[in-house]
C-alpha cells in the first residue's frame, strides 16, 4: 500500500480522496491554484504545493507543475479524481515515467475508450450492442434517408469523434435529413475538429443507466451495481440513484455481465463505468468512463464498499479481494444523490452563480452523507466546476430514501450563492419521480421550474462567532410603544450589502446588475441592438457571421462559464451588423458579442 498519495484535483473529490487516505494511514499531498490557496482540500491535506495560475489550464492541467509537486513530495501514487487529467493517457504515462503509480486504468484502456469508434468496436468484440446504427461515416444525406427507411424514424446523427451529446442532431423525417446532416457536420467540425458523422436509431424516451465496474491486475473484473442517472439538464446530471427503479434483476445481471466483458476486452484495471441507454427492456452501450465518477457514493451506500479504498488497494497491486457472489449479499436498500451546484435554477435556466458562500450548514442524521468541497466563508470560483456538495442518502427502500432526501434538502442551508436545491426539491416531490416514469428528457421537457425563484440569501447575520452587540431601541406595534432589546452585528461586522447592490464596482458589474443578476439568461438588447453576455466566460463557438440575418431566439454564439455551455441568443430578428467575438475570447459580464441592425 502507498505511504503517500498526491491528489491531482480540487473541491469535493479531492476532499473525498483525502478522507479515505487518512483512514488507511496514507499521507496526503494537495496541489492548488492561486485561487485555491486556502481551499478546503488544501486545509485538509497533510502537505500542499502551489501549481500557480488561476484557470484550470494554468493549474490543475499543468503537467509539469504537478510532476514537480510529485517529485518534491515523494508521493508514490497520484489520484486524478474526475475531470482534469482523470481520462488523459498522456498524463497517466507521465506519472508512470516519473516512477509513481497513476491511480486509474492503464493508458491503453483510456485510449480505447477515449473515442467513440474504437470504444464501440471494443463493445462489439465483447458482444455488447450499441444503439442500432452504422459504424462508418455518412457520405451524404440520402444515406440518412435510407437508414431511416430501414430502421424507422427518428434518426440521430452523431459526431464520430465526439461525445457528451455535442453535435447530436435528431432527424424526424426524410425532409429534414439534408439540413440536419449539414448542421451536425458543422458542429462536429467546430467542436471536435473532424466533420465525420454517423447515424443511429433515435430512442425517444430512454433512461441513462450506467454500471460501476472494477478490475484488478490479477485478471479479476466485477460489476458492482448500476446507477440511474437520467435526471439531468444540458448533459449535466442532477440526481442519481441506485438501484435503478423499475429495472428487472435479470436485466441488471445481463448489463453487469456485458460490462465485465467490456472490461476484459480492453484489459481494464481499476474503477470504471459503462454507460447504457435503456428503453423498453433493452439496453444499448453508449460509452465507458475510465475514472471514478461524481455519483460513485450511491454505489458505496448500497454496497458498503469504499470505492476509493478499493482503487488504492488495486493500484498498489492487491487483488479485489471479494467475488461477484459476495456482492449479492452486500447490496442493500436504496440510495439517492443530489448535486448541489452553484447555479440558479430559477425558471429552469440554471445560470451559474459563483461567489462567496456566507453560510453552509450541511444536513445530518441517519442515512445522510454530505461530500462537500467548501465550508462557510469559502468562495466558489467561476473558473472551475460549480459543484459545491453532494447530498447522498440511504434508505431501506426507494420511498424512504426519497423522503429522507427531501428532509435532508430542507435541512441544508446555503447562503451567499444560489444553488440547485430548489430544483432537487421539485424533482423529488414530483409524481413522475415517485412512479419512476422519467427519461433523459424529463427534466428539460416535463419538469416545470417556472415557479422557482432562488433568491440569493446574503449574510444572515446569525452566524456563530460573529461579533454582536446589544442595542435597546423603541418600537411601535399596533400603536403601542415598546422598548425592545436587539442583538445586532457589531461595528466590525461587514454591512449586509450584496455585491450587486453595492455602489461602485466595475462597469461590467454595474451593467450586469442593472439587469438583475438572477434575471434572464438571454441577452440584453438595448436600443442600439447590442447583444451582451450575462456573465463572465469564454466564447467556445460562434454560429453566425457578419451580414447574416437572424431570427428572434436564434443562438449567435455559445459562452462557456463554470464548465457549462450557455447559448447567447438574439431576442429579436435582425441582421448581424458587427460580430465582436471569436472562439477562445474571454468576456466579462455585459461585454458585447454582436450588434444587430
Rule CB under 6 A: which residues touch ligand MV4? Answer: 131, 156, 163-165, 168, 200-203, 206, 208, 232, 235, 277, 286-287, 440
**Least distance between ligand MV4 and beta carbon 200 (Å):** 4
Q: Of 161 and 202, which has the nearer Cβ to ligand MV4?
A: 202
Q: If you write DSSP's letter for every residue of 115-164 in order, what string do you get?
A: SHHHHHHHHHHTT--BSSB-SS---SHHHHHHHHHHH-S-EEEEETT--T
Strands 221-233 and 207-215: antiparallel
DSSP 8-state secondary structure symbol assigned to residue 525: B
Report the residue number, 165 or 248, with the smaller CB distance to ligand MV4.
Answer: 165
Q: State which residue has the least CB distance to ligand MV4.
A: 165
What's the closest the beta carbon of residue 147 comes to ligand MV4, in angstroms?
12
For residue 356, the cross-strand partners are: 379
Which C-beta is closer to ligand MV4: that of 276 or that of 374? 276
Closer to ligand MV4 by CB, 156 or 414: give it: 156
Minimum distance from residue 109 beta carbon to ligand MV4 (Å): 19
Chain Cα centroid distance, residue 566: 14
How many Cα atoms occupy the beta-carbon half-sphere of 22 within 13 Å? Answer: 11
Shortest Å distance, C-beta 428 to ligand MV4: 19
Query: Cα–Cα distance between 285 and 265 in angstroms, integer?
Result: 14
The phi and psi torsions of 60 (rounded to 5 degrees) equal -70, -10
- Measured from the CB atom, the residue of 72 and 234 that comes closer to ligand MV4 is 234
Please list the residues that pair with 566 across neighbouring strands.
559
Q: How far apart are CA 240 and CA 111, in angstroms?
A: 27
Smallest gap from Cβ 60 to ligand MV4, in A, equals: 24
Least distance CB 164 / ligand MV4 (angstroms): 6
CA distances for 366 relative to 240, 389, 411, 479, angstroms? 19, 18, 13, 48
Q: Please classify residue 66 by burial: count the beta carbons closer than 10 Å to its beta carbon, then call 0-12 exposed, 13-18 middle and 19+ buried.
A: buried
Q: How many residues does the chain have?
A: 597
CB closer to ligand MV4 out of 146 and 267: 146
Based on CB atoms, which residue is closest to ligand MV4, 93 or 134? Answer: 134
Helix (H, G, I), strand (E, B) or coil at 350: coil
Nearest in space to 164 (alpha carbons), one of 582, 565, 566: 565
Phi, psi of 307 (to 5 degrees): -70, -30
Residue 210 bridge partners (DSSP):
227, 275
Please, what is the minimum distance in Å from the beta carbon of residue 6 to ligand MV4? 31
Helices (H) and strands (E) in the chain, counts: 17, 32
Residue 111: CB minimum distance to ligand MV4, A: 18
Task: Tell which residue, 260, 171, 180, 273, has the closest CA to residue 228.
Answer: 273
**Cβ distance to ligand MV4 smaller for residue 203 or 401:** 203
Report, in Å, the least distance between residue 363 CB and ligand MV4.
Answer: 27
For residue 115, the minimal CB distance to ligand MV4 (Å) is 13
**Which residue, 75 or 156, has its beta carbon nearer to ligand MV4?**
156
d(C-alpha 469, C-alpha 47), whole Å: 40
547-556: long-range contacts, CB 8 A cutoff, minimum separation 24: 547/575, 547/576, 548/575, 548/576, 549/573, 549/574, 549/575, 549/576, 550/574, 550/575, 550/576, 550/596, 556/531, 556/593, 556/594
CB closer to ligand MV4 out of 165 and 377: 165
Instruction: State the nearest-atom distance from the C-beta of 8 to ligand MV4, in Å.
Output: 25
User: Within 10 A of 245 (CB to CB), how many other CB atoms are there?
Assistant: 16
Closer residue to ligand MV4, CB minimum distance, 121 or 575:
121
Q: How far, in Å, CA of 218 to CA of 208, rounded?
A: 31
Q: Kindly state the smallest distance separating residue 551's Cβ from ligand MV4, in Å.
A: 24
Query: Which residue, 208 or 390, is less far from ligand MV4 as judged by CB?
Result: 208
Cα–Cα distance, 16 to 572 (Å, whole number): 47
Q: How far apart are CA 6 and CA 138, in angstroms?
A: 45
Kindly write down the DSSP assignment for every residue of 68-104, as one continuous string: HHHHHHT-SEEE--SSTTTT-HHHHHHHHHTT-EESS
In our burial notation (b when 16+ CB lie closer than 10 A, e otherwise), range 552-590 reads eebebbbbebbbbebbbbbeeebebeebbbeeebebbbb
Q: Which is nearer to ligand MV4, 289 or 520 (CB)?
A: 289
Pick the closer one to ligand MV4 by CB: 109 or 168.
Answer: 168
CB of 354 to ligand MV4, least distance (A): 25
Smallest distance, ligand MV4 to C-beta of residue 505, A:
38
Amino acid at each position: 500500500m502507498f505511504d503517500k498519495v498526491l491528489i491531482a484535483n480540487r473541491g469535493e473529490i479531492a476532499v473525498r480522496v483525502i478522507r479515505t487516505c487518512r483512514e488507511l494511514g496514507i499521507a496526503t499531498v494537495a496541489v492548488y491554484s492561486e485561487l485555491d490557496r486556502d481551499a478546503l482540500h488544501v486545509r485538509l491535506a497533510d502537505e500542499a504545493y502551489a501549481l500557480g495560475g488561476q484557470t484550470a489550464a494554468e493549474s490543475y492541467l499543468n503537467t509539469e507543475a504537478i510532476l514537480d509537486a510529485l517529485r518534491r513530495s515523494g508521493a508514490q501514487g497520484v489520484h486524478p479524481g474526475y475531470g482534469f487529467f482523470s481520462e488523459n493517457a498522456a498524463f497517466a504515462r507521465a506519472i508512470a515515467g516519473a516512477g509513481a503509480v497513476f491511480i486509474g486504468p492503464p493508458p491503453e484502456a483510456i485510449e480505447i475508450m477515449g473515442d467513440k469508434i474504437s470504444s464501440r468496436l471494443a463493445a462489439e468484440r465483447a458482444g455488447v450492442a450499441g444503439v442500432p446504427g452504422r459504424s462508418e461515416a455518412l457520405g451524404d444525406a440520402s444515406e440518412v434517408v435510407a437508414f431511416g427507411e430501414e430502421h424507422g424514424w427518428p434518426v440521430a446523427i452523431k459526431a464520430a469523434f465526439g461525445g457528451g451529446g455535442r453535435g447530436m442532431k435528431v432527424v424526424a423525417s426524410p425532409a429534414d435529413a439534408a439540413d440536419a446532416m449539414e448542421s451536425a457536420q458543422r458542429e462536429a467540425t467546430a467542436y471536435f475538429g473532424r466533420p465525420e458523422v454517423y447515424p443511429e436509431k433515435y430512442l425517444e424516451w430512454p433512461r441513462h443507466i450506467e454500471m460501476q465496474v472494477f478490475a484488478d491486475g490479477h485478471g479479476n473484473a466485477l460489476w458492482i451495481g448500476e446507477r440511474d442517472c437520467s435526471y439531468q439538464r444540458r448533459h449535466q446530471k442532477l440526481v442519481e440513484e441506485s438501484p435503478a427503479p423499475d429495472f428487472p434483476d435479470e436485466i441488471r445481471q445481463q448489463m453487469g455481465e456485458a460490462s465485465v466483458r467490456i472490461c476484459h476486452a480492453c484489459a481494464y484495471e481499476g474503477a470504471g463505468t459503462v454507460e447504457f441507454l435503456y428503453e423498453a427492456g433493452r439496453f444499448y452501450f453508449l460509452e465507458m468512463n475510465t475514472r471514478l465518477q461524481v455519483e460513485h457514493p450511491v454505489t458505496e451506500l448500497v454496497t458498503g464498499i469504499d470505492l476509493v479504498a478499493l482503487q488504492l488497494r488495486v493500484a498498489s497491486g492487491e487483488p479485489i479481494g471479494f467475488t461477484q457472489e459476495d456482492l449479492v449479499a452486500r447490496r442493500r436498500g436504496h440510495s439517492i444523490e443530489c448535486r448541489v451546484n452553484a447555479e440558479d435554477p430559477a425558471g429552469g435556466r440554471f445560470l451559474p452563480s459563483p461567489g462567496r458562500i456566507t453560510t453552509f450548514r450541511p444536513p445530518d442524521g441517519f442515512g445522510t452523507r454530505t461530500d462537500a468541497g467548501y465550508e462557510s466563508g469559502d468562495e466558489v470560483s467561476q473558473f472551475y466546476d460549480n459543484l459545491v456538495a453532494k447530498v447522498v442518502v440511504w434508505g431501506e427502500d426507494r420511498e424512504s430514501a426519497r423522503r429522507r432526501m427531501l428532509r435532508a434538502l430542507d435541512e441544508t442551508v446555503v447562503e451567499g450563492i444560489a444553488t440547485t436545491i430548489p430544483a432537487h426539491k421539485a424533482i423529488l416531490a414530483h409524481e413522475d419521480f415517485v412512479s419512476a416514469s422519467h427519461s433523459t428528457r424529463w427534466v428539460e421537457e416535463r419538469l416545470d421550474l417556472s415557479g422557482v425563484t432562488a433568491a440569493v440569501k446574503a449574510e444572515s447575520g446569525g452566524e456563530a462567532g460573529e461579533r454582536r452587540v446589544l442595542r435597546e431601541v423603541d418600537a411601535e406595534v399596533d400603536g403601542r410603544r415598546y422598548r425592545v432589546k436587539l442583538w445586532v452585528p457589531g461595528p466590525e461586522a461587514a454591512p449586509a450589502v450584496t455585491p450587486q447592490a453595492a455602489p461602485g464596482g466595475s462597469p461590467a458589474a454595474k451593467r450586469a446588475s442593472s439587469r438583475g443578476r438572477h434575471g434572464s439568461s438571454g441577452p440584453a438588447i438595448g436600443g442600439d441592438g447590442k447583444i451582451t453576455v450575462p456573465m463572465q466566460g469564454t466564447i467556445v463557438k460562434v454560429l453566425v457571421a457578419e451580414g447574416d440575418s437572424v431570427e428572434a431566439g436564434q443562438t449567435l454564439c455559445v459562452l462557456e462559464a463554470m464548465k457549462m455551455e450557455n447559448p447567447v441568443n438574439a431576442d429579436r430578428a435582425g441582421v448581424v451588423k458587427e460580430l465582436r467575438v471569436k472562439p477562445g475570447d474571454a468576456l466579462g459580464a455585459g461585454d458585447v458579442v454582436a450588434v444587430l441592425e
